[in-house]
Amino acid sequence: AGGQPEVLQASGVLMQFGGLKALNNVDLTVRRGTIHGLIGPNGSGKSTMMNVLTGIYVPTAGAISFGGRSLVGRTSSDIALSGIARTFQNVQLFGEMTAQQNVQVGLHHTFRSNLFDVAVHTPRYKRESAAAANRALGLLKFVGLEAFAAEEARNLPYGKQRLLEIARALALDPQLLLLDEPAAGLTAPDIKELIAIIRKIREHGVTVILIEHHMDVVMSMCDTVSVLDFGQKIAEGEPAAVQADAKVIEAYLGG
C-alpha cells in the first residue's frame, strides 16, 4: 500500500473551538485503494477530522488536498460532488422516506433536468428518474438491502439503517468514502456483514477512511492506521505495529 499514490493529503491541520484544540497539527496521507483506519479514545478528534475533510468545519489552520486540489474553504456539497462521501456517527436518514428514496436522494447530482423538466415531467425527467430508480435498486442490492427497497427507513432494523447510509453515500460514486463508526451498536453478525461490504467497496476501487473503535475490525481490515489522542496524531502504521505501540496502549489505558 505504501507505493500507491496519495488520494488525500492533510498537513498541519488545526481545528480550534474556543480554547480547545480538537485537532492539533495533524498530518494525514491516505493512499489510493487502501482502507485507512482512524482510531483514538473518545474525544480525541476523529469525527472532527471527518468534519474538516468534508467541509462541515473550516480548519483554523492547515492544508488539505484531494486529487491535487485544495479542499479548504470549499462547501460540503462541492466536496461531496468532487468525490468524497461519508456517513455520520449517528444515523442520519430520512425516516419517513423508503430505503430506495433515501438512496435516490444521493443521486440527484446526476440529474441534468432543469426545473421545467421536473415541473412538467418531460421525457428527459422521466428518463432520468427511471435511471435513478434503477441505480438506487442496484446500490441497495450491493449492500444486501434489495428486500427493503419499499420499506420506510425508520422501520429498518438498526444494522440495516447503517447499511442504507452506506448505500446512499455510494450513490455519489465517490473516490473516497469516510465511515464514522459504522459498526457502533451492531450485533456480531451485522458486523461481519458490514466488513464484507466495506471490503467489496474497496475492491471497486474506492478508498476508505474508517473510524472504528472495535479493534478487531480495525486490525483485520485496515492497511494503515492513524491514532489520535487529544487532537494529536500519536502513532501511525500497519495495524499490528500500531496496536503494540506503547503510546497507543497508554492512550487507551489512560482514557
Q: C-alpha cell of 219?
A: 486490525
Give the interface segment with ligand ADP, choosing from 35-43, 148-156, 167-175, 187-195 (CB under 6 A): 35-43
Distances (CA, A) of 228 to 40, 41, 46, 248: 5, 8, 7, 9
Does the protein bind ligand ADP through residue 24 (CB under 6 A)?
A: no
115 binds, among ligand ADP, Mg ion, none (CB under 5 to 8 A by kind): none
Residue 231 Cβ vs Mg ion, minimum distance, rounded to whole Å: 13
| Residue appearing with cell numbers 415541473 | 119
Report the C-alpha gap between 84 and 172 in whole angstroms: 8
Residue 67 Cβ vs ligand ADP, minimum distance, rounded to whole Å: 25
Binding site for Mg ion (CB under 5 A): 46-47, 89
Distance linking the first and last C-alpha atoms of the chain: 31
Residue 45 Cβ vs Mg ion, minimum distance, rounded to whole Å: 8
Does the protein bind ligand ADP through residue 207 (CB under 6 A)?
A: no
Pairing relationship of beta strands 35-39 and 207-211 according to DSSP bridges: parallel
Residue 70 burial (C-beta neighbours within 10 Å; 0-12, 13-18, 19+): exposed
Does the protein bind ligand ADP through residue 44 (CB under 6 A)?
A: yes
Residues forming the site for ligand ADP (CB under 6 A): 17, 20, 22, 40, 42-48
